[in-house]
Structure 1
Amino acid sequence: MQYRAYNGIPATDLADVRWQKSHRSNSQGNCVELAQLPDGSVAVRNSRHPSGPALVYTKAEIKALIQGAKAGDFDTLIA
């Protein structure tokens, strides 16, 4: 089953930000990209759909996600 994103803002509305992705991203373009916004929040988008929705999170939410990933909290998702 394929899911469609119904929330977020068009990433094209964030034209003045610098998107970055992990150096571990593969050459197939299957990447998650993040951009810091002027208010300090962080936008997240799928590199395969650069104009598709960007989800915006607080710095605290992104910090919790990164810490959880480093701790292995999501390892079952990629097993």
Structure 2
Amino acid sequence: MEIFNGMAADTIKAKGPWQKARRSVGSGSCVEFRALDNGAVAVRNSRYPGGPALVFTRTEIHALLDGARNGEFDHLTV
């Protein structure tokens, strides 16, 4: 199965489950990540599990998480 940006997230097959931050559980508004068998990472909005998924390389996810840890996106939550 070819996995590409914009495909329906609920059709993506992978060994592992969709995963979200523990802090977001119960809020209904979560960003979920899923490790794909080809080494990429899919991202979806939990409110629309069948909606489009974005697919990133591990390097791109590392840069995102590093930026989040360093507070580079804090201004988006105000």
Q: Same fold (TM over 0.5)?
A: yes
Q: What is the percent sequence identity of the aligned residues?
A: 52
* Runs of 4+, deviation exceeding 6 Å: none
Instruction: Indicate the residue corresponding to 1:30 in structure 2.
Output: 29
Q: Structure 2: how far apart are the matches of 1:78 and 1:10? A: 27
Instruction: Indicate the residue corresponding to 1:8 in structure 2.
Output: 6
What do the CA deviations read for 1:46-65 (whole angstroms, capped 9, x no partner)?
A: 00000000100000000000
TM-score, normalised with respect to structure 1: 0.85
RMSD: 1.3
Q: Structure 2: how far apart are the matches of 1:76 and 1:28? A: 21
Instruction: List runs of 5+ in structure 1 lacking aligned partners.
Output: 1-6
Q: Which has the higher strand share?
A: 1
How many pairs align? 73
Matches within 5 A, 1:1-79: 8-16=6-14, 17-79=16-78
Letter in 1 for 2:7: I
Letter in 2 for 1:48: R
